[in-house]
A and B are shown apart, each in its own frame.
Chain A
Amino acid sequence: MSDDLFAPLRRGWETLLERLFFLPPFPENIDSLALFSLLLVVGLLIGEWLHARVGWPRVIGYVLAGTIFGPSLLGWISIEALAQARPIADAALGLLMLEVGRRLDIGWLRHNPELLRSTLMDISLTFTLIFSFALLLIGQSPAWAAATAAVTMASAPAVVLLTIEESKAQGVVTERIVLHTAIASAASFVVFTLVLGVIHAEQSEDWLNALVHPLWVAVGALLIAWAVARLALLIARLLPKRSLAQVFILVASALLAVGLARMLAVPVFLTLFLMGVLLAQIDERQTLRYTALPEGHWLLAIILFVIVGASLPWQEFTWLTGLQAIGLLLVRAAAKAAALAAAGGSLPLSKRLLVATGIQPLSATAVFMAYEIAGLYPEVGRSALALSLFAAALMELAGPALCRIALRKSGETAGSETGKGGIG
């Protein structure tokens, strides 16, 4: 369609080109920066509009923008443009994963056995139920059922973090949502790495892939994360704490890790998550502990979710897959609610169920993980993971809203006291 639109312009340009020798050839692709800017503005406008008019989380608007303008619907964002914008999406996801990793305080679990119990129950019950659902009800092979469970078992760190930031939430429910999200993500990454081997074992004739690929991913991500975290701390120690220079070091080192991960075909989300965890664990002098990401990471997050929205394979949608995806999400929701309810503890049941609601999002990490696995054997992977992708697609819209509802109901968002009438 866009070719037809631009045809007269192209003809005119080529006519001029014959006489004006300084003119470049007619641009075949949109420049990356121009694309970046367009995605930003469109995502921002829809996000802000939804937020202001309907009170929805902005993230939903960004995803909707991507879905509407992506290859599945209007096609204004082409598949080539998506590939072109992928480094920006990787950088955005990487920064958010870094932050989630930094927020994972393992020490908290030591002090609170009930929390350890509830996170373990969440992880095991969610994986088991989704795996059983995919295996027994959908009829996937064990390897692909495990892949489906690995992709969809955890909450969406990026969505959770942005929703918390947007609603300025603070409190025990918020803290637990972050912890559950971080730990379940870590668990899903472990399962994901193992699943890579299982899939190779099922699909490849060469056993070496089944053995080496998971190792490559795990060791590669760990090495990059460790080396870059060390480097960042080494340099940051020379600078004043919380200074702008330290912010630059944090961002630059994260981008370095993203770049290295891309170069070595190691998942960016895993590498940056590990880097965040390591940064928090080995930073004994609290060098970078208080250095926050710049406000500008919101800009990158917009791009990330527009791209995620555009990457959702709506053109492959069938009612059957849609229903299966809803079934998967219901099983997942029930698993999380049951785990939190059964885990018990000092937090009242109603608050624990709010935590379960807050960890429902499923988003960018799942989509990227699904494409990572599907890319290994595209002929089978794409259809096998369609279920996960549709589940993620549905949750892209419902997840941020659920997370926000949980935060609001817990009374931990910044605006929760407006009902009191403010200053009289």
Chain B
Amino acid sequence: MSKSLGEFRHSEPLTLGVELELQLLSRHDFDLTRGATDLLASLDYDGRFGDIKLEITESMIEVSTLPRASAGGIAADLAGLREILRVHCARNHIAVCGGGTHPFHRWPERRICSGERFDALYQRYGYLAKQFTVFGQHIHVGCTSADDAIWLTQALGVYVPIFVALSASSPFVDGVDTFFQSARLNAVSAFPLSGQCPPLANWEEFVRYFGMLQACGIAASIKDLYWDVRPKPEFGTVEIRVCDTPLSIESATALAALAQALSRWLLRTRPDLQVARQVHVARYNKFQACRYGMAAMISDPVALGQRPLRESLAELLELLAADAHELGCKPWLDHLQPLLADDASDAAWLRGMQRVHGNLNDVAREAAERLLARAAHEPREI
């Protein structure tokens, strides 16, 4: 049934919220296991750090923070959620880990969770729903107005390759090295409503566009749009959806900090977006980032050339320093700096583990240990 978009809910500017989809693993062999429903049903938790809920298959859960003004607040919530999961999963003999894909699970063995929405998705998308057992990080940035949200959705779209490359943690699928840094997004792109938000100038245009989709029977609710970046009217946010779930909550916080600083800079400087041109290179640039990560070559439809993503990112981090400082999230942005210096991405770490152990079970085990490891030097709020 079609659902009205409703009003765009007011949010405090640049507030953050993070959702992480996490893998549930068997402690026996570190393959994905089923048991999300029972795991959450037996969880006695008061929601003080945010929510822990079911995702489409029984082998995944989603944790989401409360809306927070700063990256530090996000870090604290994620650390709290991690502790809840550490204790509760250990009690239930389940391991939990990050990463965009499980390296060797067999998708036919996945089970769709009970629930009207999940069942409807399975009926609609068939096997794609089971193959959608991939794990992403979604970052919400609060907007004060609906028009700002649409503008920010378009503006952040240009930076999708950077978010993909920074979070890339899905090099293995079906037990093989895909050569991709983020293979997760290939599972997402199979869905008909995935991709980019079309060039839209303001909220009114968006409402008209969405109404057309509803009238054509393509989308019933905003949840049907699997865009890389999309407005989320009921939260009053713009949601960045392209990140793989990183292997640590520190990296997840750093990505949120980047989103916050970048959004502040964009809304403050309002650069010329050239949306009509960007739309022609968006898919290619995303592919480059998925395939090559930091080594991607990003096409610039305005300058009519290519530029290494690594170079653009270095420049961006420098550009955002002042905004990050103002927001108090500069140390979290610095957390991303090592990714520029060498190949220190999560995907590279996973490949390194595969080389050390020679098998993917140990890779998944190490990833599970890494998620639960408390960082020795977590960046502090200024």
Contacts and interface: CB of A to CB of B under 8 A. Distances in A.
Interface of A: 103, 105, 108, 111-112, 114-115, 168, 170-173, 175, 179, 240-242, 286, 289-290, 292, 346-348, 351, 411-412, 414, 416-417, 420-421, 423-424
B29 A105 contact: no
A242 to B, nearest CB: 5
A117 to B, nearest CB: 13
Contact of A103 (B28, B33, B38, B87): B28
B39 interface: yes
B109 A414 contact: yes
Interface string B26-45: 11111001110111011110
B92 interface: yes
Contacts of A172: 35, 38-39, 42, 92-93
Contacts of A115: 91
B211 to A, nearest CB: 27
7 contacts: A112-B90, A170-B33, A172-B38, A173-B38, A290-B361, A346-B43, A420-B123
Contacts of A412: 34-35
A108 B109 CA distance: 25
A70 to B, nearest CB: 36
Chain A CB within 10 Å — which of B44, B90, B93, B112 has the most?
B93
A161 B38 CA distance: 21
B338 to A, nearest CB: 29
A420 B112 contact: yes
Which 10 A-B pairs have CB atoms at the shortest separation, nearest pair first?
A: A423-B126, A346-B42, A111-B90, A424-B123, A290-B361, A172-B38, A171-B35, A241-B359, A112-B91, A170-B34
A289 B29 contact: yes
Nearest to B90: A111
A108 B90 CA distance: 7
Interface string B55-72: 000100000000000000
Given A112-B92, A286-B361, A289-B29, 8 more contacts: A105-B27, A111-B91, A172-B93, A242-B361, A289-B361, A290-B362, A347-B42, A423-B123
Interface string B13-35: 00000000000001111100111
Contacts of B26: 170
A175 B93 contact: yes
Given A240-B358, A286-B362, A417 B91 contact: no
A242 B359 contact: yes
Interface string B98-124: 000000000001011000000100111
B127 interface: yes
Chain B contact-residue range equals 35 or more
Interface string B122-153: 11101100000000000000000000000000
Contacts of A175: 35, 92-93
Interface in B259-293: none
A417 B29 contact: no
A340 to B, nearest CB: 15
Contact of A348 (B29, B42, B111, B359): B42
Contacts of A423: 122-123, 126-127
B357 interface: yes
B35 A286 contact: no
B351 interface: no
Nearest to A292: B29
A344 to B, nearest CB: 12
A390 B357 CA distance: 50
Given A172-B39, A421-B123, A346 B91 contact: yes
Contacts of A351: 38
B365 interface: yes
B126 A347 contact: no
A6 to B, nearest CB: 50
A137 B234 CA distance: 68
Contacts of A421: 123
Contacts of B358: 240-241
B336 to A, nearest CB: 32
Contacts of A103: 28
A179 B334 CA distance: 46
Nearest to A410: B38
Contacts of A347: 38, 42
Nearest to A103: B28
A319 to B, nearest CB: 43
B139 to A, nearest CB: 32
Contacts of B111: 416-417
B331 to A, nearest CB: 34
Interface string B364-382: 0100000000000000000
B35 A417 contact: no
Chain B CB within 10 Å — which of A103, A105, A351, A424 has the most?
A424
B93 A108 contact: yes
A179 B58 CA distance: 21
B119 A420 contact: yes
Contact of A170 (B27, B30, B35, B42): B35
Nearest to A346: B42
A110 to B, nearest CB: 9
A241 B357 contact: yes
Contacts of B361: 241-242, 286, 289-290
Interface in B325-368: 357-359, 361-362, 365
A348 to B, nearest CB: 7
A347 B40 CA distance: 10
Contacts of A292: 29
A168 B111 CA distance: 12
A347 B35 CA distance: 12
Contacts of A424: 123-124, 126
Given A346-B42, A348-B42, A420-B112, A290 B126 contact: no
B26 to A, nearest CB: 7
Contacts of A108: 27, 90, 93
Nearest to A286: B362
Contacts of A105: 27-28, 93
A421 B129 CA distance: 14
A351 B35 CA distance: 13
A292 to B, nearest CB: 8
Nearest to B32: A170
B109 A420 contact: no
Contacts of A241: 357-359, 361-362
Nearest to B41: A348
Contacts of B91: 111-112, 114-115, 346
Contacts of A417: 111-112
Contacts of B27: 105, 108
B32 to A, nearest CB: 9
